[in-house]
């Protein structure tokens, strides 16, 4: 580093990569096996919209597994009430609530932060925690959790629009956290 420059900030969260969606797409995949020796935990930060005019979800799967090997629980609310929800032996984790109908709600996106602890452990199922919120096309704020019942190390993370595509302009960034 040259004298006079600011000190290098290693950060807790290191940005690994960002995917900016430039045309509607069915899914986004992060390949993360290369970071097993560097990071203890992973975090995905997303702003997202759906391509339809209907509410939708963006679901998370690991290692290409779309079998009934996941569970999901949520604590969520809108502007008037709060609810709990659960689903077991399912094919994915409901991780992100996008703002739907990008054509109706131009430039409107939801915001989500997905925490994945100890994904490279080979003795643990992976538990995911998401704080996700939407303020258009129905207010929504939720704390979601999900588990993948497989102790394999995570090598890929895929986010898929459930019924519709992920809209252009959505952005997904993945970070690593040392531990």
Partner 1 sequence: MATKELISTVTVGAGGSSSINFASIPQDGTDLFLTLNLRGDATTITSRFNADSGSNYTYVRFLGTGSAVSPSSGTSTGMYNAAGCVNVGWTESTFSNVTIYIPNYSLTGVKYASVDSVTEQNSSLAYVEISGHKWSGTSAINQFTVLLNAGGNFAEGSTASLYKITKGSGGASVA
Strands (DSSP E) contained in 21-170 are: 27-31, 41-48, 58-62, 70-77, 82-90, 93-96, 110-116, 126-134, 140-148, 156-161
Based on CB atoms, which residue is closest to partner 1, 143 or 163? 143
For residue 146, the minimal CB distance to partner 1 (Å) is 7
Among 147, 160, 159, CA closest to 68? 147
Nearest distance from C-beta of residue 57 to partner 1, angstroms: 17
Distance CA 146, CA 78 (A): 21
Contact yes or no for 174/160 (Cβ under 8 A): no
Least gap, CB of 47 to partner 1 (angstroms) = 19
Q: Which residues bind partner 1 (CB under 8 A)?
A: 6-7, 9-13, 40-41, 71, 73-75, 77, 82-86, 88-89, 115-118, 121, 123-125, 127-129, 131, 143-147, 149, 151, 177-179
To partner 1, the closest distance from the beta carbon of 26 in angstroms equals: 27
Distance, in Å, from the CA atom of 173 to the CA atom of 51, rounded to the nearest integer, reads 20
The smaller minimum CB distance to partner 1, of residues 27 and 89, is found at 89
User: Greatest CA separation found in the chain?
Assistant: 57
C-beta of 31 vs 151, nearer to partner 1: 151
Cβ count near 166 (within 10 Å): 27
Query: By C-beta, is 121 or 173 nearer to partner 1?
Result: 121
At its nearest, how many Å lie between partner 1 and the CB of residue 99? 22
User: Based on CB atoms, which residue is closest to partner 1, 117 or 135?
Assistant: 117
Cα–chain center distance at 105: 21
């Amino acid at each position: 580093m040259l004298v006079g420059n600011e000190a290098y900030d290693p950060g807790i969260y290191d940005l690994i990569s960002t995917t900016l969606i430039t045309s509607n797409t069915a899914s986004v995949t992060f390949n993360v096996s290369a970071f097993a020796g560097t990071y203890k935990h992973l975090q995905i930060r997303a702003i997202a919209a759906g391509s339809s005019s209907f509410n939708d979800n963006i679901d998370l799967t690991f290692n290409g597994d779309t079998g009934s090997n996941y569970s999901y629980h949520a604590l969520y609310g809108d502007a008037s009430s709060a609810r709990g929800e659960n689903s077991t032996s399912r094919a994915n984790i409901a991780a992100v609530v996008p703002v739907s109908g990008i054509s109706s709600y131009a430039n409107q996106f939801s915001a989500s932060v997905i925490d994945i602890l100890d994904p490279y452990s080979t003795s643990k199922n992976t538990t995911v925690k998401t704080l996700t919120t939407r303020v258009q096309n129905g207010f929504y704020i939720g704390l979601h959790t999900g588990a993948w019942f497989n102790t394999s190390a995570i090598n890929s993370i895929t986010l898929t629009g459930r019924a519709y595509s992920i809209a252009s302009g959505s952005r997904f960034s993945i970070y690593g956290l040392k531990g």
